Amino acid sequence: MAKNKKATKKQKRFVGLGFVKALCYLLTFPVIVALAFLICMKTAEGVSFYSFWPYVGAVVAGLFLIIFAIVALAVNSPRGRRKHNAMRRTASLLICCIVLTGVFGLAFDVVLPDVIAKATSNTLYVEDVYNNGVDQAETIKGYTRQFVRLNLVNGNYDGELAYVTFKDLYEDPDSDFTAAVEYYTDVYKDEAEDETFFEFWFDGNQDFEYTSDLDRELYDFIYNSYILMDYDFALNNSVERKAFCLALVEQYSATYEKLCEEGFKTNGLGALATTGNDRMTWIYGKNYASMDMDGYLPFNDDSGLGYATSNRMTIPVVIRLILNDSYTYTQPVYAEDGQTIIDYDGFMTYLYMPEIADEYTGDYDENGRGLELFQASDGNHYYAYETGHVDAIINWCVLDMLGDPMPLAELDLGGLLGDDIGAILDMIGGIGGILSGQSGNIEELLNEGLTNKVIVEATDGQKLYLHLYVADNGAIGIALVPQAIQYGFLGYQYMTWLESGNLLVTICGLMSLRNLLYIFGAVSLVMIFAIGVINAHIEKKREELEKEEAEKEDAEPQLVEA
Amino acid sequence: MEQRVKKAKLFRTLKVVYYCLGLPVFLLAVFTLTMSNIGHNPFMGDYGEGLFTSIKSLLSAPAMYAIWIALAVWLVIGLVQIICKFAIKNRRTRAMVVVAIMLIVLLVPMFAIDAIYTAKLETLATEVAEGVVVKDYNYQLSYYRTHTSAAGNNGLSMKTSLTDTLKNTVEQYLKVYNIPMYGSFKGGNAANFTNEALYYDDFGYDYNADGVVDSYDHILIRNEAKGEPGDFNKVWADSLVLTNMYGENPVEVFGNFYSVHYTQAVSPDASENVECYVWYDGNKVVYEKSEGVYGEAYYNKNGMLADGYIYSLDVALRILEDYYQSQEDMKALFKATGKANEAEFRAEIEAEAAARREERYTGAEATEEDIFLWGRENAMAADYSLTVDELNRVLGELGGALGSAKLLEELFPIINMVVSGGLSFSVGQILGMVLGNMPETLAFLSAQLTDLVNIKLAIAWSGNLQIVLKDLPGGQPDVTIDLDDNFSVATVKKLISSLGISNNMLAEIITMIGLEAKADDNSLTGLENMLAGLLENLYWYTSPVLAPVYDFYVNEDLDPEDETDAAIMAYQEAYAKYKRAEYEGGLHGYLCGSRLIGGSLGSGNYAESHGLQNLTAVKQLQTDLEYQPTMYSILIVRDMLMTFAAFILFFTMMSYIAADREILWATGKIDPSKGKKAKKGKKADKADENNKEVA
């Protein structure tokens, strides 16, 4: 009886130690997997269209867990326990753990950096993702949203949602859109500061049901890329332009959020897609092919592009890259007379150009695309769509590859010239309407004359826009704007990122694993060692117990004989 | 037995090998990465003269922080191991405790560094001036050293680490401004001599050995220096104005040599001029750095930088900060002053300040010391400054010396034989060589005087040296200028007029090279006035004892409660800051070859565009230097702790396991017969037995 009680006590202690061992096992690779999963979840936020790719880091961690579990089971199996003592088994597990954590961590540091740089064409480095993986993933997601914004507002996605469409509506004083602009004008005038206005508007107004971050993003984009580039608003720093922008945000908000959520996930409808992510995916695929084959590749042959991506954009480099005559993949197909262009063999770009599309008078196919190529009044050739879109040929410029407007100067004339000019500028601000009224003439001079005639002539078809605007702080700004923005393109690097967006978020998630492997690898080693010490203790106690029992068994038969 | 001993030895060796693969490798990695920072500014601290001071300076440099932290970690772990050795008897429990504590000791500093610097950088980012960028901690942690090389892309997209960027930026500006950061010059330690005249206390000799240096010693010192009572103009107890009866210079007193300068001074009651001997110790240095307007540096008694002082980078940045900040302040404040014309207002400030300064030292409230000093220092200034009359005399001497040089008299006939038409140069070429380092000046000249390049400057001899200007534009006759005793400012005027350079143009050129000049008209008088103004601005003697004129810019009589007066006082203060910085960074720098402000920087090798161009650039560099040298060093150890923690723990554990095995083998607790070979042997024996039974 006493013997049984003692044995039970020892068994309970072993059970208790077993529980501790289980806890220690949980604090090894399972923790790494759990944390990797959390990081991957954050990376995957907002890009559900990348399916499992953001979770590759967690999958790799899971693989390590499985390998470790197999080794642990093998080492601690009855056969394993018979063959080796606790410390030896512990050493085996330690080696397995250090290989899976420390050695792989070192591999991330030593082997992967150059591999990743090469794989992403030096657009993404491990330094960007080691400690900033989640932020970097947010940046990549941001480009997805930017592409959606560009192609939503320029009408590529839907002509009825184009900026120019709303501009036309605004000319009708009875339209709902005009009423909305007037409403926001009144509201805006009551607010003193921009920030409080937005706090009021997006958080306090019940009419808005959408996330304020996306709406704010949309507002900033439309204001900077369209309002300040539109000569009807650019030279007149007024409440009206802000209100116009708000009214536009209201129109786009729901569609924009939906498209951002769906991203580039496709269900295979391709060219036939008329709505949703399929259409955006199709637009991306078609237009990217043109940029890649007729834009990037020819420039890539010119070593000057290397200068453009390595902070060597001096004026001579820019001029050379703009004026250099390079080949394009897409070539015209001529009729028998050798003069008339009847088709293009290669890649065309899908754009919303209703004035051009309206010039086509022929028939359309089942996809709504014109059956024949036609020459529009601007001298270029297009395929027209019933929806107001066209397939066009674009002559790419190096600034299109970079994607951003090149601000040339922003002159604070009031500050430069002192108060004497300040009063004059105030007066000019007061007669802003007169300048806006001249916007047509300014646009004619800068866009029609300078861009469409002079620059196109000099660059053999490339378009660069020289924009003047009055910034909100009263300074006069001048910017050189590539055509790519208007046509719905990001810079080449970012368009390529979108194509391999799943790879990039994978890298972000995977590289975040590196830190976990180092830190929790160390913790895992201590846990495994603790398990080893516990096992050694249990073994020792079991041996003592067995020895005691053996000695007692030997003693008992003597009593019976007596 | 033998096998037991062998095994025990094997595990003992393994124990040591495993330990060496842990913490020592970690330390080696930290040391290797730290080596790239050692010796590089700004990761090294101030230099110290002398062996022990320089060792101390090396050991306390920010570059070494990583090594100290790594060593501290090892020390703590070592102490833990020693304590546990005595406190815990059970080997395995001891191993477990040590390993657990090691995990904490390795990882806690890492997290602590992350937390501290994340918070610090967030705070700093909110406190810095507009335009200054402080990248977040994660970015700097990722980029302080780079892992990606330039492989495969022709180096075009190679990422430069932030550490290298910092080093390169600092080296660039040290080179441009010619601020030496090596050897004894580091930290602005060297060349800190002063032109301050000696006081009694500077002799500091207790002649009568009574334990005090006082007037009795002074009388005895005077006697030692061969002065006689009565010949000595003592004005007040603290000054030393000894006569120099011997007329020799330098004079030896107590084994030291002193130079003596004779000048005029003003008597205390300002009634008459008196003779004044000013004693200097050529080796006199400002011994201690002190806190002043520009931080810790060597200053004269009046708060100006010591006369021979060569800046440290920190002081140079403070001067530039004041220079740019004050300009922005003045721009913002001028309107509130209500003044009509800023240039006139500034001239008014300067004139009033000069008057207030003179009043301070000669007015009703001036002490005897003030009056004496004022007189003496102004006399010194005159002695060391160049006036137009003196310039004319110098030019006359020059003309006379060159014009009648015997050597030239004999050389010229030979030259004329060899070079037909005599020696002749293109003016444009000469100016190009001289002004080549100042391209903006040359561009200005080229733009203004397109005919300049065609003008020929010929050297001829006709009993004396002559400069002949030929091929003058517009068919003008040649201009001949004789170099003789009459060479003067007037002659120079004729020369530059013949080149078509007006006084105004000359003033603009002079301004371009960093000096202030203004021409009233194109006459000779106008040129002389311009030169007089120029020479006054080149105030070669700066008093080390009189309060600088900048201290008097602010009119204390104004009412700070009044809005306009307050704005005026604020503007005056900003202007004082500006002028002081302009002097300390401009002329002072010019005189010691480390010019910070002006036409050409450093020792004249770099155009102004090479320097820090605005306040934002200065503040950016100051902010970076405030935290980056320390942080990037500490990030090395943070990185290595993260990378090596697992390996250190692994090898430590393996070391303990090996130690455990060593003891088991040594104490015979492991039975060799239970080993693999024994088992194989037993298996073979059993198989034999079975076979026999069957047989």
**Whether the Cβ atoms of residue B650 and residue A100 lie closer than 8 Å to each other:** no
The ipTM value here is 0.71
Phi-psi region of A368 (alpha: psi -120 to 50; beta: other; left: phi over 0): left
User: Are A128 and B142 in contact (CB < 8 Å)?
Assistant: yes
Coil/strand/helix, residue B628: helix
Coil/strand/helix, residue B357: helix
Residues from chain A contacting residue B95 (CB–CB below 8 Å): 529, 533
- CB atoms < 10 A from the CB of A155, how many? 22
Residue position matching structure tokens 């380092």 = B437
Q: Using one digit for the tens of pLDDT, what is the confidence trace for A238-269? A: 777 888 888 898 899 888 988 887 776 654 44
Q: Does residue B381 sit within a domain?
A: no
**Among A240, A204, A248, CA closest to A222:** A248
Residues from chain A contacting residue B642 (CB–CB below 8 Å): 515, 518-519
Residues from chain A contacting residue B100 (CB–CB below 8 Å): 526, 530
**Distance separating alpha carbons of residues A21 and B433, to the nearest angstrom:** 84
**Distance separating alpha carbons of residues B262 and B244, to the nearest angstrom:** 9
Least CB-CB distance to B142: which of A106, A127, A530? Answer: A127
Least CB-CB distance to B643: which of A518, A533, A537? Answer: A518
**Among B22, B12, B17, CA closest to B102:** B22
Residue position matching structure tokens 């650039």 = B617
Coil/strand/helix, residue B652: helix
Taking the Cβ of residue B99 and every Cβ of chain A, the question of whether any pair is shorter than 8 Å is answered with yes
Cα Dmax for chain A: 129
User: Are B152 and A522 in contact (CB < 8 Å)?
Assistant: no
Least CB-CB distance to B148: which of A90, A127, A132? Answer: A127
Residues from chain B contacting residue A131 (CB–CB below 8 Å): 138-139, 141-142
- CB atoms < 10 A from the CB of B415, how many? 14
Give Rg (Cα) of chain A: 34
User: Are A114 and B93 in contact (CB < 8 Å)?
Assistant: no
Burial (CB count within 10 angstroms: exposed 0-12, middle 13-18, buried 19+), residue B4: middle
Q: Which helix (H) or strand (E) holds A403?
A: none
Residue that terminates a domain, selected from B537, B564, B598: B537
User: Are B147 and A127 in contact (CB < 8 Å)?
Assistant: yes
**Whether the Cβ atoms of residue B48 and residue B61 lie closer than 8 Å to each other:** no
Q: What is the mean pLDDT of residues B310-323?
A: 90
With CA atoms as reference, the chain A residue closest to B646 would be A522
Residue position matching structure tokens 């993702």 = A129
Q: What is the pLDDT of residue A101?
A: 93
Q: What is the pLDDT of residue B107?
A: 94
User: Are B141 and A102 in contact (CB < 8 Å)?
Assistant: no
Residue position matching structure tokens 């960028």 = B133
What angle in degrees, to the nearest 10, is found between the helix axes of B23-35 and B2-20? 30
**Which residues span the domain enclosing B258?**
197-283
Mutation test of the interface with chain A: which of B137, B164, B649, B662, choosing the one with the most A Cβ atoms within 10 A? B649
Q: Which long-range contacts (C-beta less than 8 Å, at least 24 apart) are formed by A226-229? A: A226/A153, A226/A163, A228/A467, A228/A469, A228/A471, A228/A477, A229/A465, A229/A467, A229/A469, A229/A481
Q: How many helices (H) and strands (E) does chain A have?
A: 28, 9
Give Rg (Cα) of chain B: 38
Query: How many domains are there within chain B?
Result: 3
Q: Using one digit for the tens of pLDDT, what is the confidence trace for A326-336? A: 566 778 888 88
Lowest mean pLDDT among A360-369, A433-442, A470-479, B373-382: A433-442
Q: What is the pLDDT of residue A463?
A: 57
**Distance separating alpha carbons of residues A118 and A134, to the nearest angstrom:** 21
Residue position matching structure tokens 């009408």 = A155
Residue position matching structure tokens 């009866």 = B245
Q: What is the pLDDT of residue A418?
A: 45
**Amino acid at site B346:** R
Q: Check whether residue B395 and residue B517 sit in a common domain.
A: yes
Q: What is the pLDDT of residue B454?
A: 73
**Distance separating alpha carbons of residues B139 and A458, to the nearest angstrom:** 43
Residue that terminates a domain, selected from B522, B537, B552: B537
Residues from chain A contacting residue B149 (CB–CB below 8 Å): 113-114
Residue B349 banded pLDDT, cuts 50, 70, 90: very high
Q: Check whether residue B27 and residue B138 sit in a common domain.
A: yes
β-strand partners of A341: A334
Least CB-CB distance to B96: which of A122, A524, A530? Answer: A530
**Distance separating alpha carbons of residues B580 and B594, to the nearest angstrom:** 16
Coil/strand/helix, residue B477: coil
User: Are A526 and B649 in contact (CB < 8 Å)?
Assistant: yes
Residue position matching structure tokens 């833990």 = B80
**Distance separating alpha carbons of residues B628 and B121, to the nearest angstrom:** 10
Our CA angle for B143, B146, B152, nearest 5°, is: 130
Residues from chain B contacting residue A309 (CB–CB below 8 Å): 156-157
Is pLDDT at B394 greater than 90 in this prediction?
no
| Cis amide prior to B42 (ω within 30 degrees) | yes
**Distance separating alpha carbons of residues B118 and B635, to the nearest angstrom:** 12
Percent over 70 (pLDDT), chain A: 67
User: Are A117 and B153 in contact (CB < 8 Å)?
Assistant: yes
Taking the Cβ of residue B88 and every Cβ of chain A, the question of whether any pair is shorter than 8 Å is answered with no
Residues 6+ apart with CB under 8 A from A406: A399, A479, A480, A481
- C-alpha distance from residue B503 to each of B489, B495, B507, B510, B530 (Å): 12, 12, 6, 10, 8
**First and final C-alpha spacing in chain A:** 23
Residue ranges per domain, chain A? 17-133+505-556, 154-262, 277-398, 399-498
Q: Check whether residue B524 and residue B420 sit in a common domain.
A: yes
Q: Check whether residue B135 and residue B204 sit in a common domain.
A: no
Q: Using one digit for the tens of pLDDT, what is the confidence trace for B234-279? A: 433 344 445 554 455 666 666 666 666 666 666 656 566 666 666 6
Q: What is the pLDDT of residue B205?
A: 65
Is pLDDT at B525 greater than 90 in this prediction?
no
Taking the Cβ of residue B679 and every Cβ of chain A, the question of whether any pair is shorter than 8 Å is answered with no
Residues from chain A contacting residue B148 (CB–CB below 8 Å): 113-114, 116-117, 125-127
Give the DSSP letter string of A290-356. Answer: HIIIIIIHHHHHSTHHHHHTTT---HHHHHHHHH-----S-EEEE-TTSS-EEEEES--EEEE-HHH
User: Are B657 and A91 in contact (CB < 8 Å)?
Assistant: yes
Q: Which long-range contacts (C-beta less than 8 Å, at least 24 apart) are formed by B375-379? A: B375/B264, B375/B265, B375/B266, B375/B273, B375/B276, B376/B197, B376/B263, B376/B265, B376/B266, B376/B276, B376/B278, B377/B543, B377/B545, B377/B546, B379/B263, B379/B264, B379/B265, B379/B276
Residue that terminates a domain, selected from B518, B537, B556: B537
**Amino acid at site A259:** L
Q: Does residue B596 sit within a domain?
A: no
Least CB-CB distance to A94: which of B143, B146, B654? Answer: B654
Q: Check whether residue B7 and residue B130 sit in a common domain.
A: yes
Q: What is the pLDDT of residue B564?
A: 92
Give me the phi and psi of B184, to 5 degrees please.
-75, -10
Q: Using one digit for the tens of pLDDT, what is the confidence trace for B621-645? A: 999 999 999 999 999 999 999 999 9
Spell out which chain A residues touch chain B, with contact meaning CB-CB distance below 8 angstroms: 87, 90-91, 94, 97-98, 101-102, 105-106, 109-110, 113-114, 116-118, 122, 125-128, 130-132, 135, 306-307, 309-310, 419, 515, 518-519, 521-526, 529-530, 533, 536-537
The secondary structure of residue B158, as a DSSP letter, is P
**Distance separating alpha carbons of residues B44 and B58, to the nearest angstrom:** 7
Residue A98 banded pLDDT, cuts 50, 70, 90: very high
Q: Does residue B224 sit within a domain?
A: yes
Q: Does residue B306 sit within a domain?
A: no
With CA atoms as reference, the chain B residue closest to A540 would be B92
- C-alpha distance from residue A434 to each of A116, A185, A223, A467 (Å): 55, 20, 21, 18
Q: Does residue B599 sit within a domain?
A: no
Side-chain half-sphere exposure of B686, counting CA atoms within 13 A: 6
A to B CB pairs, distance under 8 Å? 114
Taking the Cβ of residue B156 and every Cβ of chain A, the question of whether any pair is shorter than 8 Å is answered with yes
Q: Check whether residue B522 and residue B406 sit in a common domain.
A: yes
Residues 122-151 of B with CB under 8 A from A: 138-139, 141-143, 146-149, 151
Q: What is the pLDDT of residue B573?
A: 95
Who wins on pLDDT, B522 or B192? B522
User: Are B649 and A522 in contact (CB < 8 Å)?
Assistant: yes
Q: Tokens for A68?
A: 């470790």
Phi-psi region of B25 (alpha: psi -120 to 50; beta: other; left: phi over 0): alpha
Q: Check whether residue B137 and residue B214 sit in a common domain.
A: no
Q: Does residue B299 sit within a domain?
A: no
Query: Across all residues in chain A, what is the average pLDDT?
Result: 76
Q: Exposure string (b/e) for B519-540, b if CB count within 10 Å is 16 or more?
A: beeeebebbbbbbebbbeeeee
Residues from chain B contacting residue A87 (CB–CB below 8 Å): 657, 660-661
Burial (CB count within 10 angstroms: exposed 0-12, middle 13-18, buried 19+), residue B250: middle
Q: Tokens for A264?
A: 């580039």
Residues from chain B contacting residue A114 (CB–CB below 8 Å): 148-149, 151-152
**Whether the Cβ atoms of residue B459 and residue B524 lie closer than 8 Å to each other:** no
Percent over 90 (pLDDT), chain B: 30
Coil/strand/helix, residue B670: coil
Who wins on pLDDT, B81 or A80? B81
Q: Tokens for B622?
A: 């100051």
Coil/strand/helix, residue B229: coil
Q: Do β-strands A349-352 and A341-345 pair in parallel, antiparallel, or remain unpaired?
A: unpaired
* Cα A79 from chain centre: 53
**Distance separating alpha carbons of residues B319 and B311, to the nearest angstrom:** 10
Taking the Cβ of residue B165 and every Cβ of chain A, the question of whether any pair is shorter than 8 Å is answered with no
Percent over 70 (pLDDT), chain B: 68
Residue B68 banded pLDDT, cuts 50, 70, 90: very high
Q: What is the pLDDT of residue B210?
A: 79
Residues from chain A contacting residue B138 (CB–CB below 8 Å): 131-132, 135
User: Are B157 and A98 in contact (CB < 8 Å)?
Assistant: no
Distance from CA of A489 to the nearest CA of B (A): 24
